[in-house]
Amino acid sequence: MDAALLEQMLLGALLALSVYLPLRCGQLSLATPGFYAVGGYVAALLSTGVPAFAGSGATSPLPALLAEMALGGALAGLIALAIGRPVLRLRGIYLAIATIALVEILRVLNLNLPFTGGAMGIFGIPQPFEHAGGYVLFTLALLAVASWLCQRLEALRLGRAMAAIRDDELAAASVGIDTPRTKLIAFVASAVLAGITGALAAHFFNSWNARAGSFDASITTLAFVVFGGSRFWLGPVLGGLALTALPELLRPVGDLRLILFGAVILLGPLFFPQGLVTAERLRGLAAVLGRSRGRGHQAPQTP
Amino acid sequence: MSVGRLLRVGTGLLTLTLLLAGCASDPGNQPLDVAGGVPVGAVLALTGNANVYGQDQKIGLELALQQRNGGGGINGKPLKLALEDSGSDEPGANAAFTLQINRGVLALIGPTLSQQAFSADPIAQRRGVPVVAPSNTATGIPEIGFFISRVSAQSSVIAPLAIEQALKIQPGLKRAAVFYAQDDAYSTAETTIFQKALKERGLDPVTVQRTQLNDQDFQNQISAALREKPDLIVLSLQAVDGGNLIRQLRELGYRGLIVAGNGMNTPNIYPICQKYCDGLLIAQAYSPELDTPANAAFLKAFQAAKGGAIPPQLTAQAYTALQVIGEALVRLDKRQPLAGATLAAARKQLMQEILAGTYATPLGEIRFTPEGEVIQSQFFVAQVRMDPGGRSGRFALLK
């Protein structure tokens, strides 16, 4: 497997985590690609337009990338903060539709704003890393941090409040959880993560245009989470990695590859309705591993 | 073993696998492997909304490969072409380019769309792999770098010719209406050129209608345009949306001239707009009626393969791209045998050789500027003539 594909997989995993965060709070938001596009535009505009970010020639300095990621994440977060309150009054499928509309609005804006390059978008984005391997290490670190934060969430009051809202919003509110605030935090965190990912992706893809944040992308990122499982952060990460890699790994089968890919997406939820990773399956795996290790210690196997 | 511990072990293992996998070595420093043939790669949009173009291009590459290997290959060694699908988006093109480069190809043909080229070409440029683009018409492609060239003339050269022809057919034209897909790079780039050409000829567009690439229903935009009573309609649309729009235009009663851009320059529009395609004006970089030995050989090969059909421009350009690489390889190998060189050195020399040559191709005689832009002597304007059944037709050359 080569580094460029790995990088795409890692970006897919980050986006899947961004869809997972609101879902962890019971909110079906499809806005992730919209914020992803915003983050990408911030990085693309800064690194092609501002000399301090552009660096010399084809390479751009790493601090500039970090600053772009911070700014991209911040802008996406601000947009989410501004629209989050009214939008999050909606629930379930209505929220999904509202967030699709948001993605669409951002896309049409990006196509028509005077400085975003129209449909052609922005190209010639400088590279902070010489090889795709550099991107992989950097993104891996980012994914590790994001995953660790998601893992921490399990133990934090905020994470438990989010889980309570997912299980029953009314009950959660009646035990004193500030449900609008908790939902808003999840939504903004999701936007920030998507914005950061976008800023990184813009460099990796060399060019950035409005197609990064389309309805198709909304569905793809949702598929990551549905396929991998929405209960535990490892699910979306696995889903994002697997579903991004699959079309490429299936290349040897030739013309059939997209049909097979579709079949996998179809069969996944059919056989694993909760996604690949569930708490029971994790516990089961832990128990099996624990037992085999225990046995190995106590009674050495005889030939 | 607790769940938390399992997670830590699992994440560690995952990280390790990813890191190991990421350390695949770059084949650039290794000696070039020509044992199984001289490797050249192609990346085309065989799926997604641009697939109609990719299919046309694939035939062109296959024919050029037969022609090259039938005529002795690269000084006795066969040319080996690896074809990969890029889909119709940028990540797909990037992945396919990287895959081909890691396989150790000497040169790449593709990608199909300009938008994909802006994303994937910098990868080839960084890794020093020659790219000959068979169908990128947007401004700025060869400027991506030394290793990027194209055989497809840019639309700013070709598009205005069709407007001129429309004015020749109907000199009194006054009211032009323009359509383009606002979310498509090709469409937005070409419509700027069309609108500029219209203005220069005193034909300020009376209306400019925006559509979307994936639209199926254009009733709103068409009604709005027809209220302005246009006598010329200029389309910068791709094959599928453009074909549908023409059909709906005619069904809603428009009778005047229609000029289309390069996106509809493929016989694959016939099944979409059927009898309504008739009369469509398109400027082309290739004409099947060009009377040269190179075109005759190409025509013969195409018609033998496709039962007498007329080859479209995209097929001729793809054929040309592989022909250019093939001839450059033959010259390079004669001067300095490929077998001994490292891959990186061979790639660089090949690029210099490509840019230095003059080629007798189905498009006519072509050369390159030092930047990699094609220099082509002749362009054409064709009008679509549909058969009475409306199932098939041809591009008839207008003098």
A93 touches chain B (CB under 8 A): no
Nearest to B185 among A4, A119, A283 (CB): A119
What letter would DSSP give residue A127? Answer: B
Chain A residue closest to B180 (CA)? Answer: A119
Token reading at A254: 């030739």
Predicted confidence at residue A92, as pLDDT, reads: 86
Please name the amino acid found at residue B188: T
Q: Do B173 and B67 belong to one domain?
A: no
B89 contacts B116 by C-beta, under 8 angstroms: yes
In angstroms, the Cα distances linking A30 to A164, A225, B89 are: 21, 11, 21
Which residue did the predictor score with more confidence, A141 or B48?
Answer: A141
Closest-CA residue in chain A for B185?
Answer: A120
Residues of A in contact with B87 (CB under 8 A): 247
Which pLDDT does position B1 carry in this prediction?
47
Measured on CA atoms in the order B127, B130, B136, B137, is the torsion positive or negative? positive
**Can you spell out the DSSP letters for B149-184?**
EESSPPHHHHHHHHHHHHHHH-TT---EEEEEETT-
For tokens 């000497």, name the residue.
Answer: B106
**Residue B55 located in a structural domain:** yes
The predicted model gives B238-246 an average pLDDT of: 93
Query: Is A124 in Cβ contact with B122 (below 8 Å)?
Result: yes
Are both B240 and B345 inside the same structural domain?
no
Could you say which of A137, A151, A289 has the minimum Cβ distance to residue B1?
A289
Unique residue bearing structure tokens 């992989």:
A136
Q: Bridge-partner residues for B38, per DSSP? A: B79
The answer to whether B198 and B254 have CB atoms below 8 angstroms apart is no
Q: In the structure, what pLDDT confidence band is assigned to residue B8 with cuts at 50, 70 and 90?
A: low
Joined tokens for residue B305:
């393969």
Amino acid, single-letter form, for residue A162: M
Please tell me the predicted confidence (pLDDT) of residue A56.
Answer: 64
Nearest CA in chain B to A152: B4
Task: Tell me, yes or no, whether A38 lies in a domain.
Answer: yes
Bridge partners of B121? none
Whether B22 and A127 lie within 8 Å, measured CB to CB: no
Model confidence pLDDT, tens digit, residues B89-116: 888 999 999 999 999 999 999 999 988 9
What is the rounded CA–CA span in Å between residue A289 and residue A303?
21
Token duo for residue B9: 């072990």
pLDDT band (50, 70, 90) for residue A75: very high
Q: Nearest Cα to A190, choosing from A87, A272, A113? A: A87
Q: With cut-offs at 50, 70 and 90, classify the pLDDT of residue B5.
A: low
B295 and B273 both lie in a single domain: no
Direct distance between the N- and C-terminal alpha carbons of chain B, in angstroms, rounded to an integer: 81
Residues of B with Cβ-Cβ distance to A110 under 8 angstroms: none
Question: What residues of A are in contact with residue B92 (Cβ under 8 Å)?
Answer: 247
Contact A12, A243 (CB under 8 A): yes
Within a domain: B245:
yes
Please, is B171 exposed, middle or buried when counting C-beta atoms within 10 Å of its C-beta (0-12, 13-18, 19+)?
exposed
Does the bond joining B337 to the residue before it have cis omega, within 30 degrees of 0? no
Write the burial class of residue A246 (CB in 10 Å: 0-12 exposed, 13-18 middle, 19+ buried). middle
Quickly tell me which residue has 């179809």 as its tokens. Answer: A266
**Among candidate residues A150, A53, A268, A142, the one with its CA nearest the CA of residue B7:** A150
Does the pLDDT of residue B263 top 60, yes or no? yes
Q: Which domain holds residue B106?
A: 2-153+291-368
Residue B184, token pair as written in the block? 């498509």
- Yes or no: say if B42 and B79 are a contact pair by the CB < 8 Å rule: no
Within-domain flag for B373: no
B36 and B144 housed in the same domain: yes
Q: Which helix (H) or strand (E) holds B310?
A: none
Residue B399 has pLDDT above 80, yes or no: no
Q: Which two tokens stand for residue B282?
A: 């398109």
- Reading across the β-sheet that carries B364-368, which strands appear in turn? B359-361, B364-368, B374-376
Structure tokens at A224: 């990551």
Percent of chain B with pLDDT over 90: 70
A278 contact B CB<8A: no
pLDDT of residue A49: 87
Stretch A164-170: mean pLDDT, rounded?
95
Give the distance from residue A54's alpha carbon to the nearest chain B alpha carbon, in angstroms.
16
Least confident of A37-41, A236-240, A260-264: A260-264
Q: CB of B285 within 8 A of CB of B151? A: no
Tell me the C-alpha distance between B208 and A130, whole Å.
43
Nearby residues of A129 by Cβ (< 8 Å), 6 or more positions away: A135, A138
Distance CA B389, CA A219 (A): 41
Alpha helices by DSSP H, chain B: 3-22, 51-70, 90-103, 114-127, 155-169, 185-200, 219-227, 239-251, 270-273, 293-306, 313-335, 343-356
Task: Select from B23, B84, B105, B115 the residue whose CB has the most chain A CBs within 10 Å, as the one to mutate to test that interface.
Answer: B115
CA pair distance B256, A80, nearest whole angstrom: 49
Cβ neighbours, 10 Å, residue A51: 7
Contacts of B181 in chain A (CB under 8 A): 119
Are both B24 and B166 inside the same structural domain?
Answer: no
Residue B330 shares a structural domain with residue B240: no
Per cent of chain A over pLDDT 90 is 67
Q: What's the token pair of residue B290?
A: 């060009």
Read off the pTM: 0.84
What is the domain-level CATH number for residue B27? Answer: 3.40.50.2300
Q: Is A259 on the interface with B (CB under 8 A)?
A: no
Same domain? For B135 and B186 the reply is: no
Q: Count structural domains, chain A.
A: 1
Helix, strand or coil, per DSSP, at residue A25: coil
In Å, how far are A188, A196, B90 from A70, measured between CA atoms?
14, 7, 25
Structural domain includes residue A248: no
- Say what the pLDDT of residue A94 is: 94
Query: What residue numbers bound the domain in which A24 lies?
Result: 3-217
Question: Token pair of A237, please?
Answer: 């990460």
Does A189 map to a domain? Answer: yes
> Is the alpha carbon torsion for B125, B130, B136, B142 positive or negative?
positive
Predicted pLDDT of residue A117 = 87
Provide CB contacts within 8 A for B124, sequence distance 6+. Answer: B97, B101, B108, B130, B131, B147, B148
Number of domains into which chain B is organized: 2
Using CA atoms, how far apart are residues A172 and A165, in angstroms rounded to an integer?
Answer: 5
- Is B5 close to A286, i.e. CB distance below 8 A? yes
Residue B374 lies in a domain: no
For residue A281, the chain B residue with the least C-alpha distance is B3
Q: Is A120 on the interface with B (CB under 8 A)?
A: yes
| Residue B6: closest C-alpha in chain A | A286
Interface test with B, best of A123, A255, A292 (most B CBs within 10 A): A123
Q: Which chain B residue lies closest to A294 (C-alpha atoms)?
A: B1
Whether residue A120 and residue B185 make contact (CB cut-off 8 A), yes or no, is: yes
Q: Please check whether residues B386 and B257 belong to one and the same domain.
A: yes
> Does residue A273 lie in a domain region?
no
Report yes or no: A150 at the B interface, CB cutoff 8 Å.
no
Residue A111 lies in a domain: yes
Q: Which residues of A touch B5 (CB under 8 A)?
A: 286
Show the tokens assigned to B129.
Answer: 């792999």
3-state secondary structure of A269: helix
Model pLDDT, residue A299:
44
Cβ A8–B185 below 8 Å, yes or no?
no
Closest by CA position to B261, among listed B230, B231, B222, B234: B234
**Can you name the residues that pair with B342 across neighbouring β-strands?**
B31
The per-residue pLDDT of chain B, averaged, comes to 90
Contact criterion met (CB below 8 Å) for B107 and B133: no
Cα separation, B278 vs B390, in Å, equals 9
B21, B85, B90: residue with CB nearest A207: B90
Q: Give the best residue of B13, B43, B90 to mutate against chain A (max A CB count within 10 A).
A: B90
Nearest CA in chain B to A256: B47
B178 is a domain residue: yes
Q: Using CA atoms, how far apart are residues B40 and B33, in angstroms rounded to an integer? A: 12
pLDDT digits (tens, 9 = 90+) for A96-141: 999 999 999 999 999 989 899 888 889 888 888 888 889 999 999 9
